[in-house]
Structures are given as structure tokens and as C-alpha cells.
Amino acid sequence: MAAGNIASHLEEASLRLPEQKAILSAKANGFPEKSFPELYQDVKTTASFLKSRGVGRGDKTLLFVRSGYELIVLAFALFFLGAVPIVLDPGMGLKSLLRCIRSTRPSHMVGIPLAHWVSRFFRKPFQSVRNRILVDPKTFFSSVLGNHSEEELIPVDSSPDELAAIVFTSGSTGPPKGVCYMNRTFNGQIRMLKENFGMQEGEVDMATLPIFALFNPALGITTVIPKMNPSRPAKACAQNLVETLLQKEVTTAFASPVIGRKIAHWCKDNKAKLPLMKRFFLAGAPSPPQLVEDLASVMEHGKVIIPYGSTEALPISFCDHFDVRRARKGTEAGKGSCLGKPLPGVSIQLFPVCSSPFAKDPKSV
């Protein structure tokens, strides 16, 4: 497995899995299905185009596009070049979004027309941007992939400690903070997902959180983009989500508790089951025991998994619905939430509850 540039994982998957679908849309009029070789070819052509527009290794590039095919292709094209995509959670709100852009000082922006309008109207946060590349969802890929003369490229040989991406999440536990992903970080999380959760090539994932869809191509897992607006998960249609899980034969999903609750309640109300689901990760906000129990009850052969850890170190530990069930009385009595057990190779330090600086030698377990 590749140890440096994450785009190398996609290259390897395209060789190993020539017939497998890499990405598809649950929308009736969505983008065409793409196999792994087709996706990798699109990434190479897009990388060649971005290079011709001046994007290069180490360049911080604001990626301001719709989730789904556009995000995955452009993010991997930037990885391919060794550029540093800045990925923003669309649910953080305009004020937080502008603050995040100002703090990262990108030199390039690859964005939809709305992003370009915002950059002209709110000039100060975008003052570091010297190069703007317009992505019109209706014409960009047909123009680039159909007309651009591809330069023969291979993924940049990135070092493990080289900055790969800057990711901002919604800030549900405070102001959004930029997470610096090194190549080592991405590769470590890919390895962790395979070794500890049994995620295997050939599986199908429903991607409701855009940033986590970037792991699937590297894992050889098919990505299904559901019919929903990721910036407004509370407005997602539960029936559409469940139909996607069933019709696309989804085996794994990573979602917020809001989405998990919608799926669990719709299944219970309509006496539906999810027989092919192997695992359902709940993250991004607290997952009450009742929600975990409800979701587990509609999965005939799978587990609900609650990972714990910051974005750049997720997970440090995890528990499943069996652990939550055993700890439920204590949790509901206010004794704290179950964080599970640390992953192999992870050491834990316990700090006392205090307002003063931490002790120099906390107890290790």
C-alpha cells in the first residue's frame, strides 16, 4: 500500500479493481457511474488541467465545490499534484467560513460561481488568493475532460510528513478549527479502517459527510452520494436515505446522529430492516443510548459503532452498540458516556479534573 501521496491509493485501486464502480449517485439525474479506472483517468486529466492553470506542489488551494463527484475528483487531482486542498464543511455558516478562509490564506481557489461571487463581495478574507479557477457544475468536467490535452503525469512522491490537506469541520463543539492532515495522517487512518473495522474492497459506502468520502477511493470501496444537502442534514428525507441504503446495497455508512436518527425512526415506523449493513458509524455529535439502540435494532447483521477522537486522530477509541447497552444505566444517570477501548497501538493518559495546568506525569494506562 502507498505510504505517501493519497492519490497513489486510487492509482493502485484502478489497477486491482478494473470492473468495480468507484462512485455513483442516488439521484435519478445525477452524474454517470464511474469505475475506478475511469475515476483515476478523470483525476489525472483534471490534475493536468490544474497544473496548466498554475497549481503546484505545496500550494494551499481553497476547494469550494459541491459534495459528490466534483469534490472527490478535484480533491484527488490536488493530492495528485501535491497541492494542499482546503476543505470546508458547508454547514458551518458564512461567518465561520470567512474566518476559516482568512486564517489559512490560500493562494488558489477552485470554486463554483457562488464561491467566486462571495470572494468578490467579501474581499478581505480572500486577499491572499492570486488565482481563481471557476467550476461550473454544468460545463466544467465536460469541458476539461473532453477538451483538455492531458500531460502524462504520475502522483507527486509526497513524504509522510508533508502537508496533504487542511480540513475544517462544522465546529459543533466550538469554533471551527483547521485540521492539518499530513500524508502520514491519511495513510494511518486508511490502515486503521481496514485493520480494526474490517472494511474491505468491494464494499459500498453511503457518504453523508463529504470529507469522509475521500477515504473510500483509497480503500477500494464504492461511494454512493445520497440525495441530500450535506449542509442541512436535518432536512434530509429519511425515506430517500433508506431507499438508497437498500437499492444500492450499502454495507457501511458514516453519518451524524441527526441522519442516524432519521434512518432508525423511518425503519421502525415502516417495519423496514437493513439486512446488508455491516457497520454504521455515528460521529460529529453525542449519540444518546436510545438512538444507538434504535439504529442497531434495524440492522440485522451489523453493528452501530461510535468512534471517539478529534478529526485528525479519529478514532482514538471506539465502542459499539453492545458496549453502549451495557453502560446505558450509568450514562443516563449522568455518569458519563462510554468511550470504548483504545485501538491497538494507542496509549491513553488520564488527566485529573481541574482548572489548573495538567500534572507533568499523568497516569498512563
- Owning domain of residue 282: 232-350
Q: Is 187 helix (H, G, I), strand (E, B) or coil?
A: helix
Within-domain flag for 63? yes
- Provide the 10 A C-beta neighbour count for residue 166: 22
The confidence score (pLDDT) of residue 175 equals: 67
Distance CA 11, CA 19 (A): 14
- Is 206 domain-assigned? no
pLDDT at residue number 20: 95
Is residue 344 domain-resident? yes
pLDDT at 359 (0 to 100):
61
Question: Would you say residue 68 lies in a domain?
Answer: yes
**pLDDT per residue as tens digits for the range 181-218:** 888 888 888 888 888 898 889 999 999 876 777 889 88
Task: Establish if 199 belongs to a structural domain.
Answer: no
Q: Are residues 266 and 139 in the same domain?
A: no
168 and 99 in one domain? yes
Whole-model pTM above 0.85? yes
Are 135 and 35 contained in the same domain?
yes
pLDDT recorded at residue 84: 95
Task: Kindly report, residue by residue over 62-92, the tens digit of the pLDDT.
Answer: 998 888 888 899 999 999 999 999 988 766 7
Do residue 132 and residue 271 come from a single domain?
no
User: Would you state the pLDDT for residue 282?
Assistant: 93
- Indicate whether 225 belongs to any domain: no
Q: What pLDDT, on a 0 to 100 scale, did the predictor assign at position 1?
A: 44
Same domain, residue pair 84 and 144: yes
Could you read off the pLDDT tens digit of each residue along the chain, which spans 365 residues? 445 788 888 889 999 999 999 999 998 788 889 999 999 999 999 999 999 999 999 999 999 888 888 889 999 999 999 999 998 876 677 888 888 889 899 999 999 998 899 898 999 999 999 999 998 877 887 777 766 666 677 888 888 889 999 987 665 556 667 788 888 888 888 888 888 898 889 999 999 876 777 889 888 999 999 999 887 888 999 999 999 999 999 999 999 999 999 999 999 999 999 999 999 999 888 899 999 999 999 998 999 999 988 776 778 899 999 999 999 999 888 888 888 999 988 888 877 777 777 666 655 44
Burial (CB count within 10 angstroms: exposed 0-12, middle 13-18, buried 19+), residue 137: middle
Cross-strand bridge partners of residue 84: 60
Residue 214 counted as domain residue: no
Given 167, 182, 197, which residue is the final one in a domain?
182
Residue 39 to residue 15: CA distance in whole angstroms: 12
Look up the CATH number of the domain holding residue 162: 3.40.50.980
- Residue 201 located in a structural domain: no
What pLDDT does 174 receive?
Answer: 60
Are residues 27 and 111 part of one domain? yes
pLDDT of residue 209: 78
Residues 168 and 282 both lie in one domain: no
Same domain, 170 and 237: no
Clarify whether residues 113 and 252 are in a common domain: no
For residues 157 and 279, membership in a common domain is answered with no
How many C-alpha atoms does 183 have within 13 Å on its Cβ side?
Answer: 24
Distance CA 61, CA 84 (A): 6
Is there a single domain that holds both residue 160 and residue 267? no
Number of structural domains found in the chain: 2
Last residue of a domain, one of 182, 199, 220: 182
Same domain, 159 and 258: no
The whole-number pLDDT of residue 190 equals: 85
The confidence score (pLDDT) of residue 28 equals 79
Write the single-letter amino acid at 204.
V
Question: Exposed, middle or buried by CB within 10 Å (0-12, 13-18, 19+), for 157?
Answer: exposed
Structure letter (DSSP) for residue 299: B
> Taking a C-beta distance cutoff of 8 angstroms, is the pair 305, 254 a contact?
no
> Cα–Cα–Cα angle for 294, 299, 304, nearest 5°?
65
Q: b/e map of 330-356 (b: 16 or more CB within 10 Å)?
A: eeeeeeebbbbebbeeeeeeeeeeeee
